[in-house]
Amino acid sequence: MDFLVFQVPMLTIQALLDGLLLGILFALIAYGMALQWGVMNIINIAQGDLVILGGYIAYFMYLYGIHPGWGVIVSPIIMYFVGIGIYKLVINKVVDRDLFISILATFGISILFMQLMNFAFGADVVLANSGYGTTMLFDNSVTLPNSKIFSAVISIIFAIGLVIYMKRSKLGRAIRATAQNARAAKILGVDTEKVYAATFGINAALCGVAGALISITFTIHPYMGLPYTIRSFMIVIVAGLGNLPGVAVSGMGLGIFEEFADYILGTEFRIGSVFLLLVLILVYRRFKLSRKREYLK
Amino acid sequence: MKIKNILITFFSAIAILFSTSVISLAKVVGDKIVLGAAISLTGKYSSNGVHTQNGYNMAVDRINSMGGVKVGGKTYKFDIIYYDDESNPKRAAQLAERLISQDGVEFMLGPYSSGLTKAIAPVTEKYGVPMVEANGASRSLFTKGYKYLFAVLAPANLYLDVAIETAVELNGGKGVKIAQAFEQDAFSQDVRLGILDAAERTGSEIVIDDKLPKELNDMAATLAKVKAVKPDVLVVSGHTKGALTAIRQIAEMKVDVPMLAMTHCDAAKLSKQHGKNSEYALCASQWHKTLTYKDDFFKDGMTYAADFEKEFGYDPPYQSAESSAALLVFKDAFERANSFDQKKVRDALAATNMQTFYGNIKFAPGGQNVDKPMVLFQVMCDDAGKCENKVVAPLKWASAELIHPIPKWSER
């Protein structure tokens, strides 16, 4: 245990801001997962791999001399079609099946993507330099990389844009209707097949944005997808299914929690503490649920 | 009809018998000495796996074209059977079994990485197959009492030893404050043990001791602590990912530290990926092309680098150089043993005492090479932003003077 983070006030602020910025980025990935989970009842294990693929798109733009910041526009467009492709090839065959089947299918896609990316891009760890510089606060004692701020701002823009799109557009309404009751939506003339494909495409596009941001702020590597899948899974579980505003809050909360756990318990327990939190939340949920059931009796 | 079936069965049985007997004779066939190697050609180690394979191939071609290996008055040529271990320890161990018991290989070359070498070593040991490896530096490989394992490289705990000693020396012999962050894998933790030893020896104090998770992507917390505590030396080891993440975040967070020492800089192509931000980083390396060791096959480091680049199109990382050295060691041992008896070759390997372009090679009883110090280079950039790795320690090979302390970010 180390309480240095509370003894130095600047460290506390640094940890809070770092956690917040990190959490917003994770929330964006979780957003896509929550959407697709809610609409299609599919837990996408390949979520993290879609993120990494999106990151590679930004990285290759950077290699060819285009500023990787533009990746947040190019990458989602390409990834949208990748998503539709995956849906047409695999997901449409498992979409109304058991949850287990879809987990298996997306797990397979995840392995395939990892190996293909390794084959195509090599096993080197790479990154794209944005050259955005640093924002310094409180006489240089708190530093925030502008790339992280950029990531958070872009994430927020996309998240808000998505919410508005879901509320206002025809497709958005169709998606929400399908999520509520697919059969009823179908009867009322919604082409659910098209809705599913679009949902998967939107999810992949969000992953593309997140990937481009990650290539600017962190590093990418063909086998680095799984932590992003796990984090977003956790965020969705904590928020509760179908609770999109909750995803944003739980994403930020988890980011801050992680950062503080890192300072207090040590970096090695960072991920462990997040898992511990997940277990506690699940136990608490179960406890609450069992009380409700008794009440119903 | 029946007779025909019986005949077919009979002949195929003979054919199978014949083919297996040919395979099991594979160790030394005609004028060929067949070595076996499981290499990571796919999976997460594939880039370093390819460096390793290129190093092996380069040495095989060179030794074969310069007369081969002379044993018992006859000249033999090297040949290698490769299998792809998919960067997976279990697969590597299976392949080692297969190489030895099916393909009949009697001498092995090592895979890439400490983890995979650890998986293969018990197998080669069980069958008494001498293995010269060039890419497994973890200290635990050399404390298990393996008799048939020989490593041409210096063990992991010596990687950054020199950096601490240099820091103490520059501090007028007084102990320094060390902040360290290491990934939780066999190799990096061994590097950490080396630092702990060095700290104790020099009376230095460890002020931050972070263990980085495998899925490490963010070191912001560690670096914020470094900013608050202000150590004299920051040591980071977490393979290429650790090196890249550290440099990116140190530059972004403007962390000022007088000395920054790390591993895997050349594998991470630090100076290429980060340019001027990586300037002044000190990196541990097994080899550098400017070292002045010599041998008859590759002449010296510079010639090796030039030849390697001509053949494979890139500057050789130390992983390739040490892999090439492994074959020179085998050749030397075969000729001194003057036999293909595994025990005799093993004893000859144990008695190795030679110089190669890569460095002096002499094995301790544990199998590690004790005659070759690590070198430290520092990333130095010119005004145009072109960065180069220059050897700064040990002083004997220094091609540039160490820049210490690292200038503050506000002055860069």
Task: Go through the domains of chain B in sequence order and give each one's CATH number.
Answer: 28-150+290-362 (3.40.50.2300), 158-285+374-411 (3.40.50.2300)
List chain A residues with CB under 8 Å of B229: 4
Q: How many domains does chain A have?
A: 1
How far apart are the CA of B77 and the nearest CA of chain A, in angstroms? 33
Tell me which residue has tokens 């910025």. Answer: A21
Alpha-carbon gap: A170 to the closest alpha carbon of chain B (Å): 39
pLDDT at B412: 78
Taking an 8 Å cut-off on Cβ atoms, the answer to whether A267 and B221 are in contact is: yes
Query: Which candidate in B241, B250, B278, B410 is best for mutational testing of the A interface (most A CBs within 10 A)?
Result: B241
Which positions in chain A touch B244 (Cβ < 8 Å)? 125, 127, 219
A285 CA: distance to closest CA in chain B (Å)? 28
Q: Which of A22, A124, A268 sits opposite B240 (nearest CB)?
A: A124
CATH of the domain at A36: 1.10.3470
Q: How high does pLDDT run on average in chain A?
A: 87
Tokens standing for A135? 């924002």
Report ipTM for this prediction. 0.82
Nearest-5° angle of CA A262, CA A267, CA A269? Answer: 85
Chain A residue numbers touching B43 (CB-CB < 8 A) = 118, 123
Q: Identify which of A125, A266, A271 has the shortest CB distance to residue B241.
A: A125
Q: Which of A11, A147, A223 comes nearest B44 by C-beta?
A: A223
Interface test with A, best of B51, B227, B265 (most A CBs within 10 A): B227
CA A216 to CA B241: how far, in whole Å? 14
Cβ contacts of A292 within 8 Å, gap of 6 or more? none
Backbone φ and ψ for B372, nearest 5 degrees, come out as: -135, 110
| Segment A127-155, tens digit of pLDDT | 888 888 888 887 777 888 888 999 999 99
Nearest residue of chain B to residue A14 (CA atoms): B224
Interface probe for B, chosen from A267, A273, A275 (most Cβ of B below 10 Å), is A267
A155 touches chain B (CB under 8 A): no
Task: Answer yes or no: is pLDDT of A262 > 70.
Answer: yes
Closest residue by Cα to residue B362 from B329, B339, B319: B329
Cβ-defined contact of B249 to A15 (cutoff 8 Å): no
Distance CA B335, CA B348 (A): 9
Q: Which of B303, B290, B301, B285 is nearest to B355 (CA)?
A: B301
Whether A49 and chain B come into contact, CB under 8 Å, resolves to: no
Q: Output the six-digit token pair for B169.
A: 């020396």
CB contacts < 8 A (A, B): 102
- Partners of residue A4 in chain B, C-beta under 8 Å: 225, 228-229
What are the DSSP E strand ranges found in B57-121? Answer: 69-71, 74-84, 107-109
| Reported confidence tier of residue A285, pLDDT bands at 50, 70, 90 | confident
For residue A115, give how far its alpha carbon lies from the nearest alpha carbon of chain B (Å): 7
CB nearest to A218's CB, from B210, B217, B221: B217
Q: Which of A22, A119, A267 sits opposite B211 (nearest CB)?
A: A267
Q: HSE on the CB side for A22, CA within 13 Å?
A: 22
Give the C-alpha distances (Å, rounded to integers) separating A250 from A28, A29, A44, A206.
Answer: 11, 12, 19, 18
Cβ contact A14–B224 (<8 Å): yes
Chain B residues in contact with A226 by the CB 8 A cut-off are 215
Residue pair B195/B160 in contact (Cβ under 8 Å)? The answer is yes
Distance between CA atoms of B199 and B196, rounded to whole angstroms?
Answer: 5
Looking at residue A293, its pLDDT comes to 59
Chain B closest-CA separation from residue A22 CA (Å): 9
Nearest to B44 by CA among A226, A135, A233, A5: A226
Instruction: Supply the pTM of this predicted model.
Output: 0.82
Structure tokens at A285: 């949920």
DSSP state of B395: G
Considering only residues A236 and A133, tell me which one the structure prediction assigns the higher pLDDT.
A236
A226–B248 CB contact, under 8 Å: no
The arithmetic mean of pLDDT across residues A59-82, rounded, is 92
Site of tokens 């190669």: B356
For A124, nearest residue in chain B (alpha carbons): B47
Q: Is A140 on the interface with B (CB under 8 A)?
A: yes
Give me the pLDDT at residue B128, please: 93
Q: With contacts defined as CB-CB under 8 Å, which chain A residues touch B228?
A: 4, 8, 10-11
Q: Are strands B131-133 and B74-84 parallel, antiparallel or unpaired?
A: unpaired
Q: What is the pLDDT of residue B47?
A: 83
Min Cα distance B41 → chain A (Å) is: 10
Going through B129-252 in order, the beta strands assigned E by DSSP cover: 131-133, 149-151, 177-183, 205-212, 233-237
Query: Which residue range forms the structural domain that includes residue A248?
Result: 4-296
- CA dist A80 and A192 (Å) reads 18
pLDDT in tens, chain B (412 residues): 567 777 677 676 666 555 544 444 446 777 889 999 999 988 878 888 999 999 999 999 999 999 899 998 889 999 999 999 988 999 999 999 999 999 999 999 999 988 899 999 999 999 999 999 999 888 888 988 899 999 999 888 888 888 898 889 888 888 899 999 998 888 888 899 999 999 999 888 999 888 888 776 788 888 888 988 899 999 998 888 888 888 988 988 888 899 999 988 877 778 788 888 888 889 988 888 888 899 999 989 999 999 999 999 988 888 999 999 999 999 999 999 998 999 999 999 999 999 999 999 999 999 999 888 888 888 888 887 788 888 888 877 888 888 888 888 888 7
Indicate yes or no: CB of B212 within 8 angstroms of CB of A268. Answer: yes
